[in-house]
Amino acid sequence: MHNVHVIKHPLIEHKLSILRDEKTEPFHFRLLVDEISYLMLFEATRDLPLRKVSVKTPVAVAEAQKLDAKIMICPILRAALGMLDSVFKLIPDASVGFLGFQRNEATLEAEFYYAKLPADHKERTAIIIDPMFATGGTAIDAVNFLKQKGVEDIRFLALVSAPEGLKRFYEVHPDVPVYTACIDEGLNENGYIVPGLGDAGDRVFNTQ
């Protein structure tokens, strides 16, 4: 799984330990999802291209660099909405391409129900966001969808991942890098990540 990037940082570890705690309240949970996503996005965008620009400072002209990529953030509804604010803080002119999947609780597989992409999506670098990379089913379908729409540069950002899901994903999409804060032990019989943090959507939106 050469394309998985586990982003290790003391601040991320610390915040993740509070995020996992079942006693953490929804308000604090949302704040932590936002903060961890913010820290991770820094790494997930490290290789974005730059172009040279000249900027006039109050003192002289400086040779500087600006981003040479148009970004499209693709939150997988609904839990990833908790990660969206942090992305906008760092990349305020990103477009958003919503991807609606929901888990069929009988098959544990993702079912597609909605998408809304910007018109120029083919020219954009897509960063798919989802707090949990569990069975890999949603991730595979989301990347399939974007590839079918002609998107070429795709990356995936997930807070917590399961090895089974990553393995399955890389059999289909070896070209797509996954950035994650940790790879947990595995999945339980309900498709939940163990130890994980429970249902991220429910904890973000207080719908438990």
DSSP 119-165: TTGGGEEEEEE-SEE-SSHHHHHHHHHHHHTT--EEEEEEEEE-HHH
Nearer to ligand URA, 54 or 208 (CB): 208
Residue 139 Cα to chain centre, angstroms: 10
Smallest gap from residue 193 Cβ to ligand URA (A): 4
Among 38, 98, 112, 192, binds ligand URA (CB under 6 A): 192
Name residue 164's beta-bridge partners.
none
Q: How far is the CB of 106 from ligand URA (least distance, A)?
A: 15
Helices (H) and strands (E) in the chain, counts: 6, 13
Taking CB under 6 A as the rule, does residue 200 contact ligand URA?
yes
Q: Can residue 142 be called a binding residue for ligand URA (CB under 6 A)?
A: no
Site for ligand URA contains 157 (CB under 6 A): no
Site string for ligand URA, 94-133 (x = CB under 6 A): --------------------------------------x-
21 is catalytic: no
Q: Does 43 bind ligand URA (CB under 6 A)?
A: no
Q: Is 199 annotated as catalytic?
A: yes
- What is the C-alpha to C-alpha distance for residues 151 and 178, in angstroms, rounded to an integer? 16
Is 68 an active-site residue?
no
Contacts of 185-192 with C-beta under 8 Å, sequence gap 24+, read 186/162, 187/134, 187/135, 187/162, 190/108, 191/103, 191/108, 191/134, 191/135, 192/134
| 196 is an interface residue for ligand URA by CB under 6 A | yes
Q: How far apart are CA 156 and CA 142, in angstroms?
A: 10
Scanning 1-9, 67-75, 115-123, 189-197 for contacts with ligand URA by CB under 6 A, the matching segment is 189-197
134 binds ligand URA (CB under 6 A): yes
**Residue indicated by tokens 């330990």:** 17
Q: What is the DSSP letter of 89?
A: H
| Residue ranges binding ligand URA (CB under 6 A) | 79, 132, 134, 192-193, 196, 199-201
